[in-house]
Chains A and B, each alone.
Chain A
Amino acid sequence: MPIQTAEPIIQMRHVDKHYGQLHVLQDINLEVQKGEVVVLIGPSGSGKSTLCRTINRLETIDSGEILFEGKPLPQEGKELAALRAEIGMVFQSFNLFAHKTILDNVTMGPVEVLHRNRKEAEAEAMELLARVGVEAQAHKVPAQLSGGQQQRVAIARSLAMHPKAMLFDEPTSALDPEMINEVLDVMVELAQEGMTMVVVTHEMNFARRVSNRVVFMADGQIVEQNTPDEFFDHPQSARAKDFLDSIKGH
């Protein structure tokens, strides 16, 4: 377990957000320690994806505050871009740049944002691609790869920025079943290396095996959070019990 006394790397305090009438985030309070793997689960529409996306301000919030390394999120401009460069993000739909090769997808951040030398960036990108097992595809374009391969490239693209934390927004939900594990394996490895991760997922096995903490959300609220064993074996709330019952057999 990570050391609980240090200052949390991500802090959310009394965060609220509305989409019109819909109250998607209601008084969210959440802390993530350095090196911790936090899994967000809950029924669809519970606000877990929105919560994940507020951490690098892809979604704005109405009130409350979000701190990264003790500092409030910048609201715009260079400061915001610099913060985002420190937080990796992996999307459900991969979102690789369609007009760039796999290699260029991975080097774009280091070259354009971190102003690294292209040669060095490419060498490191090749190492990262090898690590996620797609180095043979480096000179293809995204559409030529399978979903699982694309998602692994997306992870490599994030890693190339040497992020201090990574956000995963349902990274396996758009994948065919046989490709889910190749992506999860990469994520497990990252977790074991001590990467700070916030993961929105429906993969309960991953949550149970890898996470330090499970956060259960419903209707825009954090209903309960606990260690994976406690949560899955002894859920406290009725909502969580219903949810776990409904996904049994999956």
Chain B
Amino acid sequence: MSANVSMRDALYEAPGPKTQRLVRIGTAISVVLLVAFVAFVLRQFYVNDQLNPKYWSFFLRWTTWRFLLRGFLGTIKVAITAGIIAMALGLLLMLGRISPNRALSAICHVVTDLFRSLPSLLLIYFFFLVIPKYGLRMPAFWMITVPVALAASGVLAEVFRAGVNAVPKGQVEAAMALGMTHGKITRKIVLPQALKIVIPSLVSQLVVVVKDTTVAYVVSYPDLMQNARVLISNYDALVSMYFVVALLYIAVNYATNQFSIYLAHRSDTPVISRVDENPV
């Protein structure tokens, strides 16, 4: 019976009458405090004239949303492309790392760790500021997509490796007993199982990629954030726009995370390496 009680509830046992009274009082006080906090925030909006309809009414217009949506499609385009590149590159890095070739393995290890330990912004500056000085100008789309993909590939290589490690040892031993080569074992036995295990983690890493794309304005790529900035200058409505955009990002990332948890739950695999998430 106790097995399906969450730890959250297990810390407190069923309250006796005194505890129940304390909890009731605490609940009342905390509701008052929370309401007061919300009221304070609303008051700050109100006294600074930020609740004025002129700052919010344009959200009722379809053109506003069409423009934001176009920006969001830009975000999605970058995120998906970067995600695919990062997956391919991460997979290659991982395969190199687990290969029997010592030199290749060492190189892939170093590259993986390097990409994991650099901020995506630094990589963006590399493609935006440094490379053009040598005469190579890439379109804005690739100036944001490539660095975001590189930063993610290091993490994904680790996610894939965790997936490979999660494949039971007996599977490899059985394949070896059949006389299969390292390459064949990896391709036919290990990878298919590992990929299945890491799917939820790949989805949750998409959140990191979406977050990384938000600095696309640095390279003037029209993503959600960049289009929001355009609208801000058009409507002179900074506060409302930045809050709405923040909520949009939160909603998308929350949904992605929930989807990843759902996938993990359905396939009964834990979301591995959530701890590797880079919250930039």
Q: Which residues of A contact B (CB under 8 A)?
A: 19, 49-50, 57-60, 74-77, 80
| Contact call A49/B16, Cβ cutoff below 8 A | no
A50 contact set on B, CB distance < 8 A: 1
Measured between alpha carbons, how far is A77 from B14 in the docked complex, in Å?
Answer: 12
Residue B19 at the chain A interface, CB threshold 8 Å: yes
Partner of A49, one of B1, B15, B17, B18: B1
Chain B residue at smallest Cβ distance from A61: B14
B15 neighbours in A (Cβ, 8 Å):
76
**Which residues of B (11-68) have their CB < 8 Å from a CB of A?**
13-19
Q: Is the CB–CB distance between B18 and A76 below 8 Å?
A: yes
The answer to whether B1 touches A75 (Cβ under 8 A) is no
Q: In whole Å, how far is A17's beta carbon from the nearest beta carbon of chain B?
A: 11
Whether the pair B16, A77 counts as a contact (CB closer than 8 A) is yes
How many angstroms from the CA of A60 to the CA of B18 in the assembled complex? 15
Chain A residues within 8 Å of B17, by CB: 75-76
Cβ-neighbour of B16 out of A19, A58, A59, A76 (below 8 A): A76
B1 pairs with A77, CB closer than 8 A: no
B residues with CB within 8 A of A: 1-2, 13-19
* Distance in angstroms between the alpha carbons of A57 and B16 in the assembled complex: 11
22 contacts between A and B (CB under 8 A): A19-B1, A49-B1, A50-B1, A57-B13, A58-B2, A58-B13, A59-B1, A60-B13, A60-B14, A74-B16, A75-B16, A75-B17, A75-B18, A76-B15, A76-B16, A76-B17, A76-B18, A76-B19, A77-B16, A77-B18, A77-B19, A80-B16
A60 / chain B contacts, CB cutoff of 8 Å: 13-14
Which A residues touch B19, using CB under 8 A? 76-77
Distance in angstroms between the alpha carbons of A228 and B14 in the assembled complex: 35
CB distance from A151 to the nearest CB of B (A): 18
Q: Which residue of A lies closest to B3 (CB)?
A: A93
Which residues of the other chain, A, contact B13 by a CB distance below 8 angstroms?
57-58, 60
Q: Which residue of A lies closest to B20 (CB)?
A: A76
Smallest Cβ distance from A170 to chain B, in angstroms?
Answer: 12
Residues of A within 8 A of B16 (CB): 74-77, 80
A76 to B14 CA separation, bound complex (whole angstroms): 9
Residue of A with least CB distance to B17: A75
Distance of A60 Cα from B19 Cα, bound (Å): 14
Nearest chain B CB to A184 CB, angstrom units: 24
Q: Give complex CA distance A19, B3 in Å.
A: 14
Q: Tell me, rounded to whole Å, the shortest Cβ–Cβ distance linking A57 to chain B.
A: 8
Docked complex Cα distance between A16 and B65 (Å): 59
Rounded to whole angstroms, the CA-CA distance of A74 and B13 in the bound complex is 13
Shortest Cβ distance from A36 into chain B, in angstroms?
26
Known: A59-B1, A75-B18, A76-B16. 5 other contacts (CB 8 A): A49-B1, A50-B1, A60-B13, A74-B16, A77-B16
> Within the complex, what minimum Cβ distance (angstroms) separates A21 from chain B?
14
Q: Closest CB-CB distance, B62 to chain A, in whole Å?
A: 48
Give Cα A57 to B17, complex, Å.
Answer: 14
Distance, CA A19 to CA B5, complexed state (A):
12
Q: Which residues of B contact A49 (CB under 8 A)?
A: 1
Q: Which residue on chain A has the smallest CB distance to residue B14?
A: A60
Instruction: For the complex, give the distance between the alpha carbons of A59 and B1 in Å.
Output: 10
Q: How far is the CB of A193 from chain B (nearest CB, A)?
A: 30
| Residues of the B chain whose Cβ atoms lie less than 8 Å from the Cβ of A74 | 16
Please give, as numbers and ranges, the residues of chain A lying within 8 Å of B14 by CB-CB distance.
Answer: 60
Cα distance, A57 to B14, chains bound together (Å):
9
Measured between alpha carbons, how far is A77 from B15 in the docked complex, in Å? Answer: 9
Residues of chain B contacted by A19 (CB below 8 angstroms): 1
Q: Which of chain A's residues have a CB closer than 8 A to the CB of B2? A: 58
What is the minimal beta-carbon distance from A90 to any residue of chain B, in angstroms?
A: 15
A58: chain B residues at CB < 8 Å are 2, 13
User: In the complex, A50 Cα to B13 Cα: how many Å?
Assistant: 15
In the complex, A58 Cα to B13 Cα: how many Å?
8
Cα distance, A77 to B19, chains bound together (Å): 8
Taking CB atoms, residues of chain B closer than 8 Å to A75 are 16-18
A244 to B260, CA, bound (A): 48
Q: How far is the CB of A22 from chain B (nearest CB, A)?
A: 10
**Smallest Cβ-Cβ distance to A50: which chain B residue:** B1
* Chain B residues within 8 Å of A80, by CB: 16
Expressed in whole angstroms, the Cα–Cα distance for A75 and B2 within the complex equals 19
Chain B residue with the shortest CB-CB distance to A76: B16
- Report the 6 A-B pairs with minimum CB-CB distance, sorted nearest first: A76-B16, A75-B16, A60-B14, A76-B19, A76-B18, A75-B17
- Measured CB to CB, the closest approach of chain A to B66, in angstroms, equals 49
Question: CA separation between A108 and B186, bound complex, in Å?
Answer: 50
Task: Give the complex CA separation of A10 and B39 in angstroms.
Answer: 54
Bound complex: CA of A75 vs CA of B15, how far in Å?
8
How far, in Å, is A60 (CB) from chain B's closest CB?
Answer: 4
Least Cβ distance of B19 to chain A in Å?
Answer: 5
Q: Which of chain B's residues has its CB closest to A22's CB?
A: B1
User: In this complex, what residue of B is CB-closest to A19?
Assistant: B1
